[in-house]
Chains A and B, each alone.
Chain A
Amino acid sequence: MSGDPHGRPEPEAPLRVADHPFFIGLDPQLTREASRLAKERRFDTGEMLVRDGDPAHWFYLVFHGKVALEVATAEKPHLTIQTVGPGEVLGWSWLVPPYLWRFDARALKPTQVLAIDGTEFRQTLANHPEQGYRFLVRLLPILAQRLENTQIQLLDIHGL
């Protein structure tokens, strides 16, 4: 129950970069910098987070909800190829030229994220190479796992 004498709901605790699994254990200075560049955002069900081809200025730390990553094919204009949920990171296009989104991302349920300015954060990583290296070492296993998942998907295991 709320402790507010007027019965108003207590404000929810703000999301913190340091609480997101991706940043836990990373260099505190890098976490502070990401926090400085972070904005809390909420998306309603069906709302688009990113659109294929748009500039990838941001990346998202998902705290609540679920996001569908969609690609378009001639036969299927909205094919969901992955869902991203709490504790996961949405988007690496801000790290890879030409810094454009390569998929659509749509909220499947009310979703809360911290959006981090990837353009500025990229500059931070470049200015602090040692921390940048640690960041990439943290990132690489995630990308490797996604690559392996994609390879298995390509095998169409259920059709073997």
Chain B
Amino acid sequence: MASDVPSPSPAPSSHPLAPAPYFVRRQTAETGDTNTLVLAPMDGGPVPPALPGQFNMLYVFGVGEAAISLSGDPTDSTQVVHTVRNAGRITAALAQLPPGKAVGVRGPYGRGWPVDAAAGRDVVLMAGGLGLPPLRPVLYHFLSHRAQYGRIEVVYGARTPKDLVYYDQIQEWRQRSDLRFQVTVDAADRSWYGDVGLVTARIPDVRFEPGNTIAFLCGPEIMMKYAARDLEARGIPRSSIWISMERNMKCAVGICGHCQFGPEFVCRDGPVFRYDVVRDWLAAREI
């Protein structure tokens, strides 16, 4: 891997596979099938420091464990925030947990977005669907260290307006003068006055200095593939494009191999990868 990849934080638990007890502080519906959970340690202590782009393993006792990206402010040491789509048995159980209920948490794991490599450069963040939550911590970071970065351009696409997460916060971000936040949806009814079209179709309208820009992409793999191609065509080198991969993770510490992607383990070597490192594997079938 490239030398500018942030090193993963050590797992906080005494045993890497032992979850720490947390409780649900708050649960908010984002869309019809997606909730944001705010979790805090049962012992009242601080949460382990995490890098933007890392993930936790969330354990619903008696049901199972799922890898979920951190999606909150990385400087908040009192709680962790996860935005979860109800897409299976474990995430359905997570969505039903009321405030106060216990959850096992282990992590953070993996390698995050290379925020240091972005210093002094223009930044393009592109998110498709539930790709925005893993990018939100890096946006918090950029905004809290705003002077260190050049232009910040965010492009976020979802299937319909009802599928947009963080709707109110996006309205606030769109009011900022030091950030350009574009939103588009694939289809809409007449109540929507925003842009309609693929998230990748917005790329010609994204403003950056090609030779001095870093791009972070998160979303469906096919969206990242086309977005990377189009950003490259606009002059951003492959080595300056980073993507966040999603695979079925079990151990989260590079032992079990469930998340193997070519020669990489997504849990240990990712989930954030430099595009040129994984590009050929993305093109391979059934990897």
Residue positions of A touching B, CB distance < 8 A: 66, 68-70, 76, 78-83, 85, 108-109, 145, 148-149, 152-153, 155-160
Contact = CB atoms under 8 A, between A and B. Distances in A.
A157 B197 contact: no
A155 B219 CA distance: 14
A148 B222 CA distance: 12
Contacts of B223: 152, 157
B256 to A, nearest CB: 24
A72 to B, nearest CB: 12
A148 B158 CA distance: 18
A76 B196 CA distance: 16
17 contacts: A68-B190, A70-B190, A76-B189, A79-B187, A80-B188, A82-B196, A83-B196, A83-B197, A109-B193, A149-B197, A152-B200, A152-B222, A157-B219, A157-B223, A158-B220, A160-B220, A160-B222
Which residue among A70, A145, A152 has the maximum number of chain B CB atoms within 10 Å of its CB? A152
B19 interface: no
A133 B219 CA distance: 39
Interface residues of B, number: 26
B4 interface: no
Contact of A149 (B128, B195, B200, B219): B200
B130 to A, nearest CB: 8
A152 B128 contact: no
A70 B130 CA distance: 26
Contacts, number: 64
B129 interface: yes
A149 B220 contact: no
A156 B192 CA distance: 19
A159 B198 CA distance: 14
Nearest to A106: B190
A159 B196 contact: no
B186 interface: yes
Contacts of B220: 157-158, 160
Given A81-B196, A82-B197, A152-B222, A157 B129 contact: yes
B270 to A, nearest CB: 19
A158 B196 contact: no
A83 B184 CA distance: 9
A81 B196 CA distance: 6
A155 B189 contact: no
Given A68-B196, A158-B130, A160-B222, 5 more contacts: A66-B193, A79-B187, A152-B222, A158-B186, A159-B159
B226 interface: yes
